[in-house]
Amino acid sequence: MLLLITCFGILPKLQAQSDLQISKVFDQYGERRGAVMVELTNEMLNGYEFSLFKSITISNNSAASEFIRKYLERDEVGAKKVKQVVTNGVLTSIYLQLPRKGQFYRLILFNETFKPESKITLIYIESKNDSEDVLKLILKKK
């Protein structure tokens, strides 16, 4: 019975981003002061349907930005870089299209701003729709 509960109930939850290093960022900083973490499943945002939307925004925490960059670097392996901004040798923005996992297209979006305050935003997206369309739809809203 316990085995069944594990198989049916818990494992599907673990599938989401378990293979990614950035999951450690959510675990490490998600519930801390100065951070805003969001998780939405099967939801429409900006007219687009996400299977999973997970984001974290951390303010004024240089250690966190180093932590994120370290794990982003590992998740870059095998991913396509749609956009990358490096300022003074430091990665400040990157959009990564990850290899599809089953029926899901996956994206990682990262951005760091310094004005008016230092703010890091990391987003992980899973969708059944093409990730290029996700990018266009999300970002043209600005």
Partner 1 sequence: MRFKIKHNLTADQADKLIEKYYEGFTTVEEERQLKAFLAQTGLPERFKAEQAIFGYFETKQSKPLFNLRSYIRWVGAIAAMFIIGFGIQTFTMYTSSDYAYVDGVKITNKSKIKTQALASLSNVAADNNEVEQSLENLNDNELMKQQLEVFSGLSK
- Residues in 99-118 at the binding interface with partner 1, rule: CB under 8 A: 109-111, 113
Q: Which of 17, 22, 75, 119 binds partner 1 (CB under 8 A)?
A: 119
**Phi (first) and psi of residue 109, to 5 degrees:** -120, 130
- Piece in contact with partner 1 (CB under 8 A), picked from 17-25, 36-44, 66-74, 98-106: 36-44
Structure tokens at 62: 């240089």
- In the list 14, 15, 19, 43, the residue contacting partner 1 (rule: CB under 8 A) is 43
Interface with partner 1 includes 70 (CB under 8 A)? no
- Output the CA angle 73-83-127, nearest 5 degrees: 85
Q: For residue 100, what are the contacts with CB-CB under 8 A and spacing of at least 6?
A: 106
Given CA atoms 63, 67, 18, 45 in this order, what sign does their dihedral have?
positive
Q: Tell me how far, at minimum, the Cβ of 128 lies from partner 1, in Å.
A: 14
90 binds partner 1 (CB under 8 A): no
Binding-residue total with partner 1 (CB under 8 A) = 50
Q: Token digits for 138? A: 């999300």
Find the shortest distance in angstroms from Cβ 16 to partner 1: 10
Please report which residue ranges of 1-142 form alpha helices under DSSP H. Answer: 2-5, 11-15, 23-29, 62-75, 131-139
Question: Would you tell me which residues interact with partner 1 (CB under 8 A)?
Answer: 1, 4-5, 7-10, 12-13, 30-43, 45-46, 53, 55-57, 80-83, 93, 95, 109-111, 113, 119, 121, 123, 132, 135-136, 138-142
